[in-house]
Structure 1
């Protein structure tokens, strides 16, 4: 996701009240979402068929769903049913005779509760019929050209404003979308399109199937008048651009850069995890939103001078954040820090090392500025349910810097070997910071405990003062507490050679010939504050 200056109403910031115990009690296998939208009302009618396995005994199933409020806002559940085998109260098998069983339920402002009496290891499918006007999560509005549009915008946990679900990144499921719209619209969603037909009465029915397991934060439905371009095929993956017709020429040119970006990441990381890549101009409140295989970009993205970096950031997310999803919000750097650094690596590959250095210097300034406002570690457990505050320079730029320093510590070859192994191990699943560390330790043969502890679990960074000590000496002092351990590179005058000293104490003295000056971190390989930065 690319950040965008946004002001979120309070209802967005504390919207998922699902308990850890509930998430550990069920595992959603599949969502079948049927959705009807209209032009004469913002009210949607929908059905969600949710197939899940009970991991423990559970008398009552809690699903995240914003309940009904005034003037049809919020979701009103109309009916909940289950197919059960004829003659006994158990889940019906496909093709077997079945009866429809009504499931008792209740709602409050944040959740839907089903009386299920679930037994461990049983799999059930519940069909929930509901309707209402989404207060968020499914944005029904007009684009900058005054045309009506419908776009999901679920990050971080806003899906349950329009969909009953387990609205947490740790629960991943396959999904089917069956969408009925006025026939003037084009529909795009996660997965492959398996049906697109006119049904009469000026309506269109479109079906998409996504078999890969996704968290709800990256479920995507986009409904608008689109111009569509099939811009490339990369190793069998079709690449599409969906833009507003008024932006067709510029939008196709801008989004058309996606093919080469996709090719680079496949080569460096591993197979692309989805069956298509669609880049979509949208009404997302973010600069970009990395929905799996159906990336949403802000409507102002077309014509942006930073469009190539924006595309690279969101496409990198397809591996990091989408295929490998963080186990909890405190590990969001595994998504945003990775996308930030992978963007730098793509730009380095395309435009040279100086581009990487320029990007890292700009990122370092952002991290320093953020630290002066908020002193907190990258793995931040203080956010509680206000997850949008994690969209900060720690998760993005400092997370990217950690990867850069890790790359320099283990070397390019072992760094990429570790990245590929991390994706191969956790693609399609969830991972946390410790999981990533263990993979990198295995592939590099190094103990990285101290590296991860100080850069990710401790707040701050080295704050250095460097002064002459007489007779060709320079005194380097760490001014922060606690102390960091790190290699410091330096150069002498205009000598192209790079020297390195290991810093671990409060004070370190380096010796050079008299009457010389030194340049600290000439290759831009260390995250630190120095002199005027402090």
Structure 2
């Protein structure tokens, strides 16, 4: 049987249309069901002559089921001339057919078997529109910094750009010799290639998500501080900030020691703190944290950010959220552990000050957004970087600590990390671990604080005549159930704290006392996420 030229052209057009439509319909959920990237090797060549990068990516994949096509996230060339153009894809010595479009790179391959492991070599070049930030720092020196969160890696490297797909990675960075290069993992090789070019090879042997898979290339002054449990700690700063930068970034030492002693061994083989062009105050890239270029002052003002980003090495980088909606498992944890470090290092008063400030910030945010912490309606993941994920998430951990007590809380935290290190978890996984450790049913606790919007708003009245009468009104909907500590101050200078479980809209309680009451205080020891709308004495 033969096919006429006109019919052949029509069939080819139909085939291409079907392939493109199928490509555009694919999403990360489908990809995650079919493939698991287990290793990336990226060879990146950088130049001072232009912003064009040349890349060769080797992507090693384990297939979960028989398929003949799959896609990676990769931004194609755009009308403004940014984006990446693929020139070839090979498996061993065989060319692989591919289609690039709609931020996807679709490969058509020989039929796989479940469990097959194959490696694909993708050669490409282009100007990154995002992800790898090529620019000048505040001193007008040229720099190159990866900045991938949440799913911006696809702008410069072909990946599965989702936190659920973790892989090991190695970087071969070729750049002009007047730069130093840093990447995830340990330094394997540094070779002068001649022609004013240097090759730097970094290798990360622990699986990490693409959101924290980066390189940094710039003129650096580098200080190697010390080793903590065989982990080398270093500071990488612009030469102009050498003295102040080395002083400020030394704050990493006590923060690292705190996390190791309270949670577990450091999950990677180095900790480098790097001055960079990240858009964020700090970005927790695994093993090499990038801080904003204005992070250095010589006054230690960035200590809280340093503690926060170091906490992320455990929570976010090693034990990662399974999808972005559960980012509080990263940001809420890092915020609370930043505060816990301050409690350990500077005392309870410093800790309480930070917790109160966090509570006020989250309550202010609630005036503009009634979303819960786990908000599955968000499509712009950058909008998840809000006080719900950070400050309110931190408060969930704080209230859980009160619910369980310090011993069970810390046992649960360590158990959760041990179970999910180098892996992924959802909020319900964390809940299950804490229930197992404590023997308590925490379903209602997590449901109201994570999946329900709002918080308790309390209007309280009290009066004293032979007995103390207290009326507590929840003025918000839906209602919450929580323990409320009330400090009662007496005219003789003494005081006592009583705890009432509040679940209804109005709770009225009478407390017999022979002492005259002078005043009352709600939540005197700062354990409850709530808003006090009024506290009135009635005659």
TM-score by length of structure 2 reads 0.91
Between the aligned partners of 2:456 and 2:199, the Cα distance in structure 1 is 58
Question: What do residues 457-489 of structure 1 show as CA deviations (whole Å, max 9, x unaligned)?
Answer: 100111110012563201001111221111101
Q: Are 1:59 and 2:58 an aligned pair? A: no
What SS does the aligned partner of 1:317 have? helix
For the Cα contact (< 8 Å) 2:248–2:300, is it kept in 1?
no
For the Cα contact (< 8 Å) 2:51–2:134, is it kept in 1?
yes
Provide closer, same or farther for how the CA distance between residues 451 and 16 of structure 1 changes in structure 2, counting only shifts above 3 A.
farther
1:179-218 map, 5 Å: 179-218=173-212
Equivalent of 1:517, from 516, 519, 525?
519
Provide closer, same or farther for how the CA distance between residues 492 and 532 of structure 1 changes in structure 2, counting only shifts above 3 A.
closer
Between the aligned partners of 2:533 and 2:245, the Cα distance in structure 1 is 44
What SS does the aligned partner of 1:531 have? strand
Match of 2:96 in 1: 103
What SS does the aligned partner of 2:71 have? strand
Equivalent of 2:358, from 363, 368, 377?
363
Match of 1:43 in 2: 52
How far residue 71 of structure 1 moved from its aligned partner, in angstroms, is 5.3
What SS does the aligned partner of 1:118 have? coil
Bigger CA drift: 71-80 or 215-224?
A: 71-80
Equivalent of 1:376, from 371, 375, 378?
371
What SS does the aligned partner of 1:316 have? helix
Q: Are 1:479 and 2:475 an aligned pair? A: yes
Equivalent of 1:34, from 38, 43, 55?
43
What SS does the aligned partner of 1:516 have? strand
1:265-276 map, 5 Å: 265-276=259-270
Question: What do residues 148-173 of structure 1 show as CA deviations (whole Å, max 9, x unaligned)?
Answer: 00000000000000011100000000
Provide closer, same or farther for how the CA distance between residues 17 and 377 of structure 1 changes in structure 2, counting only shifts above 3 A.
farther
Provide closer, same or farther for how the CA distance between residues 390 and 532 of structure 1 changes in structure 2, counting only shifts above 3 A.
farther
Between the aligned partners of 2:507 and 2:413, the Cα distance in structure 1 is 34
How far residue 17 of structure 1 moved from its aligned partner, in angstroms, is 7.2
1:441-460 map, 5 Å: 441-460=435-454
What SS does the aligned partner of 1:497 have? strand
For the Cα contact (< 8 Å) 2:460–2:534, is it kept in 1?
no
Question: What do residues 258-279 of structure 1 show as CA deviations (whole Å, max 9, x unaligned)?
Answer: 1111011000000100000000
Between the aligned partners of 1:186 and 1:282, the Cα distance in structure 2 is 13
Q: Are 1:147 and 2:146 an aligned pair? A: no
For the Cα contact (< 8 Å) 1:192–1:276, is it kept in 2?
yes
What SS does the aligned partner of 2:518 have? coil
What SS does the aligned partner of 1:508 have? strand
Provide closer, same or farther for how the CA distance between residues 170 and 479 of structure 1 changes in structure 2, counting only shifts above 3 A.
same
Match of 1:491 in 2: 487
Question: What do residues 213-235 of structure 1 show as CA deviations (whole Å, max 9, x unaligned)?
Answer: 01100001000000000012111
Bigger CA drift: 502-511 or 416-425?
A: 502-511
1:177-326 map, 5 Å: 177-303=171-297, 306-326=301-321
Question: What do residues 485-528 of structure 1 show as CA deviations (whole Å, max 9, x unaligned)?
Answer: 11101111153532211111111123344543211111011000
What SS does the aligned partner of 1:58 have? coil
Question: What do residues 51-86 of structure 1 show as CA deviations (whole Å, max 9, x unaligned)?
Answer: 001112222111100001235410000000011xxx
For the Cα contact (< 8 Å) 1:18–1:64, is it kept in 2?
no
How far residue 532 of structure 1 moved from its aligned partner, in angstroms, is 5.8
For the Cα contact (< 8 Å) 1:16–1:167, is it kept in 2?
no
What SS does the aligned partner of 1:373 have? coil
Equivalent of 2:77, from 68, 73, 89?
68
1:300-449 map, 5 Å: 300-303=294-297, 306-384=301-379, 386-449=380-443
Provide closer, same or farther for how the CA distance between residues 79 and 444 of structure 1 changes in structure 2, counting only shifts above 3 A.
same
What SS does the aligned partner of 2:160 have? coil
What SS does the aligned partner of 1:365 have? helix
Question: What do residues 429-449 of structure 1 show as CA deviations (whole Å, max 9, x unaligned)?
Answer: 000100000111111111110
Match of 2:506 in 1: 507
Between the aligned partners of 2:195 and 2:80, the Cα distance in structure 1 is 28
Structure 1 vs Structure 2 CA RMSD: 1.5
Match of 2:129 in 1: 135
The structure whose RCO (Cα within 8 Å, separation 6+) is larger is: 1
For the Cα contact (< 8 Å) 1:219–1:291, is it kept in 2?
yes
For the Cα contact (< 8 Å) 2:173–2:200, is it kept in 1?
yes
Question: What do residues 332-369 of structure 1 show as CA deviations (whole Å, max 9, x unaligned)?
Answer: 00000000000000000011001111011111111111
Match of 1:7 in 2: none
How far residue 411 of structure 1 moved from its aligned partner, in angstroms, is 0.4
Question: What do residues 300-338 of structure 1 show as CA deviations (whole Å, max 9, x unaligned)?
Answer: 001165311010000000000000010011100000000
Between the aligned partners of 2:206 and 2:25, the Cα distance in structure 1 is 24
Where does structure 1 lack aligned partners over 5 or more consecutive residues?
A: 1-14, 84-99
| Larger Rg belongs to | 2
Match of 1:464 in 2: 458
